[in-house]
Amino acid sequence: MATDQVLTGSAPAGERGPAGESAAAAPERARVSRLPSLTGLRFPAALAVFAHHAFLPIPPLRLLADDRTEFRLFRWFDQAGGLGVSFFFVLSGFVLTWSARDGDTTTGFWRRRFVKIYPNYVVAWLLAMVLFASDYTSTRVAVANLFMVQVWVPTYFTNFSVNSPSWSLAVEAIFYLSFPLLLAVFRRIDARHLKYWIAGTVALVWATPAIAYAAFPKTPLVPSGQDLSVSAYWFSYVLPPVRMVDFALGILVALAVRHGRWRNIGMIPSFLLLAGGYWLTYHMPYLYGQRAAMIIPIVLVIAAAATADIEGRFTPFRNRAMVWLGEISFAFYLLHYTVLSWLRKELGTEMYSTTAGISMLVGAAVGTVVLSWVLYSMVEAPLVRRFGRATTRHAKAAGQAVLRK
């Protein structure tokens, strides 16, 4: 999912440091202009979601004839989608906080978010409708998707209709609407207390599946084969106010890193913990595995990558190729399901050997990268350049003063 290019300015006037001192005297870390490793990390996260969909054993996507191989791969990548989505939600909060501009207007922020997100979203919606989704999608559901309201009803085939991954953009839209208020509130937190807020937010992530399992009906079940009700799944994984906890966690961690209140453990230990968290998903109830098991490692990875950039240390995500892939990753995320679904539709009902099927999936990934570059170059980048420039209150006042002269 999309995030602004990671830029930062000085801290807001009046913001207080860990001992109540002015922001200028506080041990702030936000002095670099870019955090390219966070851009580079976006593509592996998008690729994780691609892998999850590529090995879903459902007729609209499945290519492999061998049941044993198909279901083994499905088992391996079953929670990769939850990992990628949760990573993007936390990353959005972190990056938007880091790149927040002093004096930026709320309407200016919303305009930049709209220009970056919605045109790509509409193009992906149109492609999905034309290529496959119109065959089985009602007008009501299609319109709900177009206007990003498909996530507000506990109906599985509405939440994941048309272009299935687009549900998360509908959730992100709520994040963006709420961000100016959330940031204003969280900036008032004493930096010494951020660790308690972060711990409380992580606790809320863990509490969500517990509430879902305890409070919601046990039937009807989701069609993915999990022993899990549609309403519990919707509440824990899809509902925007619930997923806003992930976004808020990203905001709080960004503030902690900025104020020097984050204890960084480094990228290698963070990734090892992420691998351990992913392994843990095989040994706990499904809803805990989708978010809770991996939420702390996700935070650690994001903060470690940001800290490495701040301190000028090497990361494998800061090179030109990874940053470029990160820049097109939003388009990749939006287009990959359409490519996979269209490929299955064009191939008919024939199933393939493991070698042939995986080769096709690799080709689909490469093809999606190419299409993503086209969408980024022709739609996203030009519109962001044309309409994405920030207009702060200070700049607006200066411009009006020049006009008066």
Q: Which of 17-26, 46-55, 117-126, 275-284 has the lowest mean pLDDT?
A: 17-26
Share of the chain above pLDDT 90, in %: 83
- Report residue 31's pLDDT band, with 50, 70 and 90 as the boundaries: low
Quote the pLDDT of residue 156: 95
Say how far apart CA 280 and CA 293 lie, in whole Å.
7
Structure confidence by residue, pLDDT tens digits, 48-66 = 999 999 999 999 999 999 9
Backbone angles phi, psi at 229, to 5 degrees: -80, 155
Average pLDDT score over the chain: 89
Helix intervals (H) in 132-266: 139-146, 156-159, 167-186, 194-215, 230-233, 240-258
Query: Which two tokens mark 275?
Result: 């691998």
DSSP secondary structure code for residue 392 in this structure: B
CA dihedral 390, 393, 396, 398 (to 10 degrees): -120
pLDDT of residue 296: 98
Output the pTM of the full model: 0.90
What are the phi and psi torsion angles at 87 (to 5°)?
Answer: -60, -45
pLDDT value for 256: 97
- Residue 381 pLDDT greater than 50, yes or no: yes
Q: Would you say how long the chain is, in residues?
A: 405
Residues 6+ positions from 300 with CB-CB distance below 8 Å: 265, 269, 270, 273, 274
Mean pLDDT computed over 289-297: 97
pLDDT by residue (tens digit) across 178-201? 999 999 999 999 999 999 999 999
Q: Which residue has the tokens 């990992």?
A: 83
What is the tens place of the pLDDT at every residue in 116-151?
999 999 999 999 999 999 999 999 999 999 999 999
% pLDDT > 70, the chain:
88
CA–CA gap between residue 167 and residue 280 (Å, rounded):
26
Residue 341 near residue 58 (C-beta atoms within 8 A) = no
Confidence (pLDDT) at 367? 97
303's enclosing H/E stretch is helix 293-310
pLDDT at residue 25 above 90?
A: no
Q: Rounded distance, CA 45 to CA 73, Å?
A: 18
Is the predicted pLDDT of residue 17 greater than 80, yes or no? no
24 pLDDT exceeds 60?
A: no
C-beta atoms surrounding 275 within 10 Å: 12
Query: What integer is the mean pLDDT of 370-388?
Result: 94
Angle at which helices 167-186 and 106-131 cross, to 10°: 170
Query: What pLDDT score was predicted for residue 28?
Result: 55
Separation between Cα atoms, residue 358 and residue 353, nearest integer Å: 8
